[in-house]
Amino acid sequence: MATTAVLEMVDTAPVEETATMTLTPAAQARLGQLLQERNIPTYGLRVFVAGGGCSGLQYGMAFEAAARDFDTVIDQGGVKLFIDPTSMMYLAGASIDYVDSLMGAGFKIDNPNAVSSCGCGSSFRTKDSGETDEEDEAGCGSGCSCHSH
């Protein structure tokens, strides 16, 4: 007696989820307000990573009129973020918050890719940067206190 097997083809290709940056409601509101105050409501916020800072890499932000070739463009509630491909490698999954406290007001990036960051939040180190915690601590001369995560 022959047995017949029924094979069902199932698409097992992994579904790619692109980790992107997000804005908290406070950051979204403050950015929208800044764009209106500066009379540049159609501009976006370029978020980038550059070498430097007490932890090896530092964040930067600037308003720009348009995205550049190959940028990731994130539109969240009418506020656009422009992120170049290299910076996106370091910022995937991160979020931007706006904090207004007695110690001051400003934007803060919560980055799951950072294993160490400067106390002021503008500088960070990733696990692939090749620096040790001792080297990181020695480089904290900018007035920030560094913290390992």
Q: What is the pLDDT of residues 83-120, one digit of tens each?
A: 999 999 989 999 999 999 888 889 999 988 877 655 54
Q: Full-prediction pTM beyond 0.75?
A: no
- Answer yes or no: is pLDDT of 59 > 70: yes
Q: Delimit the domains of the chain by residue range.
A: 22-139
Judging by beta carbons within 10 Å of its beta carbon (0-12, 13-18, 19+), is residue 17 exposed, middle or buried? exposed
Fold designation for 22-139: Hypothetical Protein Aq_1857; Chain: A; (2.60.300)
Distances (CA, A) of 21 to 82, 90, 109, 133: 10, 10, 10, 27
Query: Element (H or E) spanning 117, and its range?
Result: strand 114-118
Query: How far is Cα 97 from Cα 24, in angstroms, rounded to an integer?
Result: 5
Query: For residue 53, what is the DSSP state?
Result: S
Residues whose CB is less than 8 angstroms from the CB of residue 116 and which lie 6 or more positions away in sequence, other chains included: 55, 124, 125, 133, 136, 146, 147, 148, 149
Q: Determine the average pLDDT of the residues in 27-42.
A: 96
Query: What is the reported pLDDT for 104?
Result: 85
Lowest mean pLDDT among 31-40, 85-94, 124-133: 124-133
Q: For residue 97, which of 12, 44, 24 has the smallest C-alpha distance?
A: 24
Mean pLDDT of the chain: 75
Q: What is the pLDDT of residues 135-149, one digit of tens each?
A: 333 344 444 433 344
Alpha-helical (H) ranges within 78-139 are 85-91, 133-138
